[in-house]
Amino acid sequence: MPSTALPTAITKLGFDPDYLPAFEDKLFIEGRQTARRLTNFFALLLFATVIATYGVLSGSTATVIGAMIVAPLMGPIIATTAAVVMGSLPRALRAFALTVAGIAAVVIFSYLLAWVVPDVTISFTSNGEITSRINPGLYALLTALGAGAAGAFIVSRAEIADSMGGVAIAISLVPPLCVVGISLQKGRWDAAGGALLLFMTNYLAILLAGGLTLVVLGVGKVAGAQEQARVRRRGFILFTVGTLLVSIPLTLTAYQSVIHAMDSHKATAEVNQWLEGTSYQVDMVKVNDRVVIATIEGTGELKPVQQLANQLAVTLRHPVIVNLRTLPALEGIASSP
C-alpha cells in the first residue's frame, strides 16, 4: 500500500486542511467586511425575533420553525467553540461577546414586541409554543448535544453547508429567548427562568458537543502551541462544568415527570377498578400533587367516592382529595325517514 494512502483517507474522513481559510472566513466575523457582516447578523436576528415572538404568541409551530431558519445565532456559538478548539482566545472572546449581544437583543426586542399584546391573549398554560419551552427536561439536553455535533460537522464541510437549516430547526435558540422576553414583560419570572434554562441547555450543549466534534475531525491540529492547548483545555473544562450544572435541574424535572406519569397511571387503574360493575368509563385522570381529578362518562349510580379516595390514598401512599367529574352519556336514535 502506498505511504500516502493513510493520510489521504484521514483527509477524506476528517477536516481538510485546505479548507481552513474558508472555514475561518465562514465562522469568524473579522477583516474588512466586519461592519457589513455584523449588520447582516443583527438584521436577521431582529427579523427572526419578530417572527418567533408573534409565532409563539399565536401558537403557530410553522411560524416558529421559520424563525429558527432565519435566526443566525448559532453562527457565533459554533465560532466560539471552534476558536477554543483552535486555541485562539481573542477569537473566542469576540464570538462570545457577539453571542451575548445577540441574546440581549432578542430578549429586549421580544419584550418590547410583547408590550403591545393584551395580557388576556397570552396563556402560559394552554399555548403549546410557550409551555413546551418553560419546563425543559433531559430530552432537551440530549437533542441539543446531537444538534451541536451535527452543526459543527456541517460547518467543517463545504459540500454539505445547505444542511444547516435542518440543525437550526432541531435546536431552539431564538424562540426560548423570545419566551424569556414575553414572560418578563408579563411578570412571569418562573416562566422566564424555565425558558432561559432551555436556552442555556442548548447553548452549552452546542459548545461541548460541537467542540468535541471539531476535535475528532482534526480541527484542533492547528493549535500546536502550548498556550493554544491550554486555552482549549480550559475551554472544555468550562463547557463540561456548565453542561453538568444545567443537567441538574433538567434531571430533577425529568424525574418529576416520570413520577407524575407513574402516579397518573396508578390512579387511572384504581379509578377503572372502582368503576367495575357500573356503566361508567374513564375519560381522564390527572394527579396534581394531592388532588386527583377524575373525569368519567356514563349513567347510573356510583359507588361511594370516599371508597375511591381511600383506594387512591393507599396506592399513591399519601392522602388525596378526589375531584370527580361525571359526564352523562347521551344516545341519539335516528328515526326512519
Given a cut of 80, whether residue 337 has pLDDT beyond it is: no
Given a cut of 50, whether residue 10 has pLDDT beyond it is: no
pLDDT digits (tens, 9 = 90+) for 285-336: 988 888 999 998 988 888 888 999 999 999 998 898 999 988 886 665 555 5
The pLDDT, as a whole number, for residue 331 is: 60
To the nearest 10°, report the CA torsion of 109, 83, 167, 149: -140
Tell me the C-alpha distance between 49 and 175, whole Å: 8
Given a cut of 60, whether residue 120 has pLDDT beyond it is: yes
User: CB of 99 within 8 A of CB of 77?
Assistant: yes
Give the CATH class of 5-223.
mainly alpha
Decide the pairing of beta strands 281-288 and 291-298: antiparallel
Q: How confident is the model at residue 224 (pLDDT cuts 50, 70, 90)?
A: low
Sorted by where each begins, the domain ranges of the chain are: 5-223, 259-328
Tell me the C-alpha distance between 280 and 296, whole Å: 6
Q: For residue 258, give the C-alpha cell.
A: 416520570
Tell me the C-alpha distance between 56 and 59, whole Å: 5
The stretch 144-161 carries a mean pLDDT of 87
Given a cut of 70, whether residue 103 has pLDDT beyond it is: yes
Percent of the chain with pLDDT over 70: 91
In our burial notation (b when 16+ CB lie closer than 10 A, e otherwise), range 196-224 reads: bbbbbbbbbbbbbbbbbbbbebbbbebbe
The stretch 172-187 carries a mean pLDDT of 95
Of 190, 71, 96, whose CA–CA distance to 88 is shortest?
96
- How far from 137 is each of 24, 133, 134, 181, 261, CA to CA, in Å? 34, 10, 10, 21, 14
Q: How confident is the model at residue 111 (pLDDT cuts 50, 70, 90)?
A: very high
Amino acid occupying residue 66: G
Give the CATH class of 259-328.
alpha beta
User: CB of 114 within 8 A of CB of 122?
Assistant: yes
pLDDT digits (tens, 9 = 90+) for 13-47: 678 888 888 888 889 999 888 999 999 999 999 99
**Length of the chain in terms of residues written:** 337
- How far from 320 is each of 48, 74, 126, 255, CA to CA, in Å? 47, 47, 26, 21
Q: How confident is the model at residue 161 (pLDDT cuts 50, 70, 90)?
A: low
The pLDDT, as a whole number, for residue 329 is: 67
Helix (H) or strand (E) holding 149: helix 138-155
Q: No. of H helices and E strands in the chain?
A: 13, 3
In our burial notation (b when 16+ CB lie closer than 10 A, e otherwise), range 84-111 reads: bbbbbbebbebbbebbeebbebbbebbb
What is the pTM (predicted TM-score) of this model? 0.84
- Of residues 286 and 158, more confidence is placed in 286
- How far from 144 is each of 168, 203, 221, 299, CA to CA, in Å? 11, 8, 26, 49
The pLDDT, as a whole number, for residue 270 is: 92
The stretch 143-157 carries a mean pLDDT of 91
Given a cut of 70, whether residue 226 has pLDDT beyond it is: yes
